[in-house]
Amino acid sequence: MRQPPDELMLFAAGFGSRMQPLTADLPKPLIPVAGKSLLDRTLSLATAGGITKTVVNTHYLGDKIANHLENYPAQVVHEPNILDTGGGLKNASKFFEGPAIFTSNSDAIWSGPNPFAYLFQNWRDDCDALLLCAPIHQVSGRTGPGDFSISQDGGVIRVGNFVYLGVQIIRLDTVQNVRETQFSLNIIWDELMAKNTLRACLYPGQWCDIGRPENIALGEKLLGTNHV
């Protein structure tokens, strides 16, 4: 039986282009929402959700993220050339001990159960990756359609009314054997879908994508609500 993971790869290397002009001199993970940076909010959730080790990758304005994390027990991995999500995970895989880890974006606001603890509770032995998703009506900050359709047993196919919420558990060997250095995790997911080893579980709360400046107000509003 596979041991549920307690390690996290936190993606923080992107340019944050959709958040301009806020990201002209500030990396997206350091943008504040209700007085607390997106990065700190994600790290707080991770710690409360049982994560014991975190690796953060950086590229754009990476020195600012490294300085921000100077007193936080996280491993910072700077990418001189941006590697995308799959390449970033492959590049950082040597820092992890377990066969499977969490990965997370750092650009969302949550209202509901701790996403890391919830995904941990739903980790399954019969999959190579488990995505945390929600139906489009529980999501704010983005318009439809969703990303996936999800069957009753958690099987995933492309296109549907369910949105990927940026947090997953994935086996590291899915990226370690890829020959390219720069690639998206979408490529890995397609391979796992073909093998029927990609699964999803449904988050019962609300989620807001902080992908554009106007979404900050949506996130702050969500922080003051109770989830469904």
Q: pLDDT tens digits, residue range 103-138?
A: 999 999 999 999 999 999 999 888 999 999 999 999
Domains, the chain, in order of start with CATH, read: 7-223 (3.90.550.10)
User: Which pairing describes strands 206-209 and 139-140: parallel, antiparallel, or unpaired?
Assistant: parallel
**pLDDT the model gives residue 143:** 80
Closest to 129 measured CA to CA, from 206, 199, 225, 56: 199
Residue 180 has which token pair? 């390219």
Overall average pLDDT of the 218-222 stretch: 96
Q: pLDDT band at residue 3, thresholds of 50, 70 and 90?
A: low
Q: Is the pLDDT of residue 58 over 90?
A: yes
The pTM assigned to this predicted structure is 0.95
- Please state, rounded to an integer, the average pLDDT across all residues of the chain: 95
Closest to 1 measured CA to CA, from 124, 172, 154: 124
CA distance linking residue 132 with residue 167, whole number of Å:
6
What Cα–Cα distance (Å) separates residue 95 from each residue in 64, 72, 136, 140, 208? 22, 17, 35, 34, 30
Overall average pLDDT of the 25-50 stretch: 97
Q: Is the pLDDT of residue 44 over 60?
A: yes
**pLDDT the model gives residue 228:** 40
- Contact predicate 206/112, CB 8 Å: yes
**pLDDT the model gives residue 2:** 54
User: Which pairing describes strands 100-104 and 74-78: parallel, antiparallel, or unpaired?
Assistant: unpaired
